Amino acid sequence: MFVSTASRFRAFSASLFALASLSMLPAAIAVPFVHTGSSEASVTADDFSSSSSSSSSSNSNNALSAHSGSKDAAANKQADLVLKNGAICTMDATGRWCEAIAIKEGRILSVGSHKQSSDWVGATTKVIDLHGRMVLPSFHDTHVHLAEGGVELGQLSLEGCANLADAMKRLKDYSERNPDLKWILGGNWSLTLFPNANPKKETLDEIVKDRPVFLISNDGHSAWANSKAIQLSGVTAKTADPPLGRIERDAMTGEPSGAFREAAIDLIRRKSPRVSEAQMLEGTKNAIKYAHSFGITHVTEANAGEDILKAYKTLVDKGALNLKVRAAVETDPQGNEKQVNRALWLRKKYEGGRLRVGEAKFFADGVVETHTASLLTPYLDKKEETGISNWTDEKFAKLATAFEKAGFQIHIHAIGDRAVRQALNSIEAARKVHGDLDLRPHIAHLQLIDKADIPRFRQLGVTATFQALWAYRDVFVKDLTVPVLGEERTNSMYPINSLLRHGTVLSAGSDWTVSSLNPLDAIEVAVTRKGLADKPEDNKDEPLNLDERVNLMDFLAAYTIGGAYSDHSDKVSGSLEPGKAADLIVLDKNLFEVPNTDIHKVKVMQTMLDGVFVYDREMESNASKTNADGK
């Protein structure tokens, strides 16, 4: 079953036009596009019919003969592996579909029709019949904390707790199962569990009082500590708030009340046990396997300390890094330009194999719900506050320029509209000094963007890296965001389609463990602007601004060719074309043949990296069953 030619061009127009017009794609395959606006926000099964599918398949065969090279040339090349009888969405510049793909020595040899696939088969070629399953380029997550997330898999997790009682039961069970732990570490608790997003130390004390408990929130911008942890850290009423951080305090005594924001988190963290090299390595390996199960083969580590780089380098040295990693090194708003030299040293020491150390991570601000996101206009409930800007304008511009000059791609966390403007201003300042070095800066999160700044992304060549799973009215938004921003600003959040219509290149990231690592969860929300359909508690309200939804092809592009553009691998990945790496996934259902509300239910069956399957759902399931049966 294939999408009609007209539907393919309609669906693919905006994302590929943005990329093609940046000269990323060869002129020979760049085609005219017509963007149809938000009324064409998604491609559904209604775009399919048996007659159009048949004619489309025939047209595709003719077109792909030229795309794949001559029949005779293909016949002279024996593939190592052929996948045939599939619905293969190549994500190339024309949005082309095909039925078969040939792979040789880790690269794509050819793509074409089911009939053409026999030309690639030799005596030693392995042939797999896909039985109509969908194939896509594998996913690129361009903003994730993968290694740290892997470590957290072995710690206490409060993710998904519906209420405080659930969270406390989980803490109690964990503490009883781990009586020898000197500190209880973990987190992923939601700010929505507490009035004003403000947890208290006494709540933890009721469950565990003899050992320190230190838990990071699921957004990573707050921490919750019990009295023992606060005592051991030496934080008292006399302790001043650190620069760019805040200690929440008892209104009467001034004593720490249990919550720590932004830089204040380090007051407790510096006294807690450090993650060992062995723990980081094991966590990284576990996280990579988890990523494979969702079809992810490329990641951008959004804030990689040396401990994380060391874990990846260990895997590189062992020939065991089954993931393509682009790491963003930390920057310090309190530091000077010497930190560029350290970044260069880290690159020289750790880069190699599938690990690239190519980005510099800037935190422009915090988050809305704790009043630390930097806004152009004040918060509704605190009329004098506009949040925290971690950088002065001058220093931000100076460091961004220095890092670009040293060859680092700028990667910026920006939530508030003032933070976004400051980020764009800094990139513009760097442009004025040394022009466009094709470093492809990108800004992540983008919860609020002033309308005047939307065209600047395209003008400056800045990629917008969205965490689309956040773009709906969940309890978090209703209870914590609307009261501090108001309905008008809330409704303008995450303007994905506005940026797309202005020609901005989109990439996508999960920010895991802040939210789900599964790209299909985020893709569904991007095209519906509602919560996942099997979570009725997240679907009681209207969608979050339907004008900002995008069509399915456009956000698939964000996770594939857009991600490859962002992580500088677009010449060798992001689409299924001859000569590119055989990085692909097989899905159990065609995403264009299920309702948009079922996208997140589709499963990745296999994940391939450089021509080798690194994940097979059926094999994993059988192995799990064998272990469960004790065989």
User: Exposure of 376 by Cβ count < 10 A (0-12 exposed, 13-18 middle, 19+ buried)?
Assistant: middle
Bridge partners of 616, per DSSP, are: 606
What is the structure's pLDDT at 453?
98
- For range 500-505, the mean pLDDT: 97
* Spatial separation of the C-alpha atoms in residues 378 and 382, rounded to whole Å: 7
pLDDT per residue over 572-581, tens digit each? Answer: 999 999 999 9
- For range 367-377, the mean pLDDT: 95
Percent of the chain's residues with pLDDT above 90: 77
Residue 585 pLDDT more than 60? yes
Those residues whose C-beta lies under 8 Å from the C-beta of residue 307, and which sit 6 or more positions away, are 275, 277, 280
User: Exposure of 624 by Cβ count < 10 A (0-12 exposed, 13-18 middle, 19+ buried)?
Assistant: exposed
What is the structure's pLDDT at 351?
98
Show me where the domains of the chain are located. Answer: 183-269
Q: Tell me if 133 sits within 8 A of 587, measured CB to CB.
A: yes
Residue 300 pLDDT more than 90? yes
User: Exposure of 314 by Cβ count < 10 A (0-12 exposed, 13-18 middle, 19+ buried)?
Assistant: middle
pLDDT per residue over 120-153, tens digit each? Answer: 999 999 999 999 999 999 999 999 999 999 999 9
* Spatial separation of the C-alpha atoms in residues 295 and 587, rounded to whole Å: 9
Residue 408 pLDDT more than 50? yes
What string of DSSP letters covers 216-282?
EETTSSEEEE-HHHHHHHT--TTPPPPTTEEEEE-TTT--EEEEEEETTHHHHHTTSPPPPHHHHHH
Residue 362 pLDDT more than 50? yes
- For range 593-610, the mean pLDDT: 97
Strands (E), 349-479: 355-363, 409-414, 442-445, 463-466
Q: Coil, strand or helix: which one is 390?
A: coil
User: How many Cβ atoms are within 10 Å of 154's Cβ, its own excluded?
Assistant: 14
Residues composing the chain: 631
pLDDT per residue over 40-51, tens digit each? Answer: 232 222 332 233
For 363, phi and psi rounded to 5 degrees? -95, 110
pLDDT per residue over 27-86, tens digit each? Answer: 332 322 222 233 323 222 233 223 333 333 333 333 334 444 444 554 457 999 999 999
Bridge partners of 325, per DSSP, are: 299, 355
Q: Tell me if 365 sits within 8 A of 391, measured CB to CB.
A: no
Distances (CA, A) of 604 to 144, 154, 588, 621: 19, 24, 6, 13
Question: Using CA of residue 357, residue 359, residue 365, residue 367, what is the dihedral sign?
Answer: negative
Nearest 10 degrees: Cα torsion 547, 138, 4, 504:
40
Q: Tell me if 462 sits within 8 A of 445, measured CB to CB.
A: no
- For range 436-450, the mean pLDDT: 98
* pLDDT-derived band at 18, boundaries 50, 70, 90: low
Q: Tell me if 442 sits within 8 A of 411, measured CB to CB.
A: yes
What is the structure's pLDDT at 626?
56
What is the structure's pLDDT at 171?
95
What is the structure's pLDDT at 47?
30
User: How many Cβ atoms are within 10 Å of 309's Cβ, its own excluded?
Assistant: 22
Residue 9 pLDDT more than 90? no
What is the structure's pLDDT at 441?
98
What is the structure's pLDDT at 625?
59
* pLDDT-derived band at 196, boundaries 50, 70, 90: confident
pTM of the model: 0.85
Q: Is 183-269 a CATH 3.10.310.70 domain?
A: yes
* Lowest-pLDDT choice from 127-141, 318-332, 526-540, 542-556: 526-540
* pLDDT-derived band at 537, boundaries 50, 70, 90: low
What is the structure's pLDDT at 114?
87
What is the structure's pLDDT at 21?
59
Percent of the chain's residues with pLDDT above 70: 85
What is the structure's pLDDT at 31?
28
Residue 443 pLDDT more than 80? yes
What is the structure's pLDDT at 620?
82
pLDDT per residue over 460-478, tens digit each? Answer: 999 999 999 999 998 889 9
What is the structure's pLDDT at 538?
63
What is the structure's pLDDT at 55?
34
What is the structure's pLDDT at 475?
86
What is the structure's pLDDT at 310?
98
Residue 562 pLDDT more than 50? yes
What is the structure's pLDDT at 624?
61
| Per-chain mean pLDDT for the chain | 88
Residue 104 pLDDT more than 70? yes
